[in-house]
């Protein structure tokens, strides 16, 4: 039993090394220029081991996205994560602040990788499909948060849950985060505060308690 546990831990550690090496190379070189051989060399593993573990470069990128979004390798959906459960149950203004804070933590991990995906999507149909799937997943998450605000009677007149989800999707997007934090030099805290304040102004009715 002990040997089985040690073997499983070693396998998980090797997998993490390969993913870490792939992330570094994808961000440094881009998706297309990164080869499986280069990933294996950076990880200090045999290329055959890399292929046995992931089969394809796209599979590595797909798993990397899942791990970076979650922050760990546990199979727990974003909306089932403790921070999201807390946000959905909170009063409207607090929900928005917790939502912006949670998005900021996720984007700090995954925004550089999503830039890799977005750049490669224009020339690689498989990566384009991965980008569309990620966008759909993000929209699903924002729709749940928007529906929670609507159920609390907290959306301003003329804004329904669908429109609120679109506003959240745009303001909390990796593209906006990358522009302001990576390109314009904002801190993560500045982005979080701006995102929360903008969502409060855009979504809650005039005169609503935003404290």
The enclosing domain of 8 has a CATH number of: 1.10.10.60
User: If we measure between CA atoms, which residue out of 120, 152, 58, 157 comes closest to residue 66?
Assistant: 58
Whether residue 169 sits in one domain with residue 130: yes
Angle at 83 between CA 77 and CA 85, to 5 degrees: 70
Residue 157 pLDDT more than 90? yes
Residue 142, CB half-sphere, CA atoms under 13 Å: how many?
23
Looking at residues 31-55, what average pLDDT do you find? 95
Distances (CA, A) of 43 to 28, 62, 135, 208: 15, 18, 30, 53
Residues 109 and 189 in one domain: yes
Q: What is the pLDDT of residues 78-103, one digit of tens each?
A: 999 999 999 999 999 999 999 999 99
CA torsion 110-111-114-115 (nearest 10°) is -150
pTM as predicted: 0.90
Residues 139 and 69 in one domain: yes
């Amino acid at each position: 039993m002990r040997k089985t546990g040690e073997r499983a831990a070693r396998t998980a550690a090797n997998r993490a090394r390969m993913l870490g090496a792939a992330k570094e190379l994808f961000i440094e070189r881009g998706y297309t220029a990164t080869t499986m051989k280069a990933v294996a060399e950076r990880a200090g593993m045999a290329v055959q081991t890399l292929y046995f573990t992931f089969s394809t470069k796209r599979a590595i990128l797909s798993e990397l996205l899942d791990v970076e979004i979650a922050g760990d390798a546990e199979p727990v959906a974003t909306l089932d994560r403790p921070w999201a459960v807390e946000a959905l149950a909170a009063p409207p203004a607090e929900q928005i602040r917790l939502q912006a804070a949670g998005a900021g933590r996720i984007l700090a991990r995954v925004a550089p990788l999503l830039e890799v995906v977005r750049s490669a999507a224009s020339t690689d149909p498989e990566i384009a499909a991965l980008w569309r799937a990620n966008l759909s997943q993000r929209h699903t998450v924002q729709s749940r948060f928007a529906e929670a605000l609507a159920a609390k009677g907290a959306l301003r007149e003329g804004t329904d849950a669908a429109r609120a989800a679109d506003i959240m999707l745009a303001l909390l997007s990796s593209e906006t985060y990358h522009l302001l934090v990576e390109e314009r030099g904002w801190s993560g805290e500045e982005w979080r505060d701006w995102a929360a304040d903008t969502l409060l102004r855009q979504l809650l009715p005039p005169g609503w308690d935003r404290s």
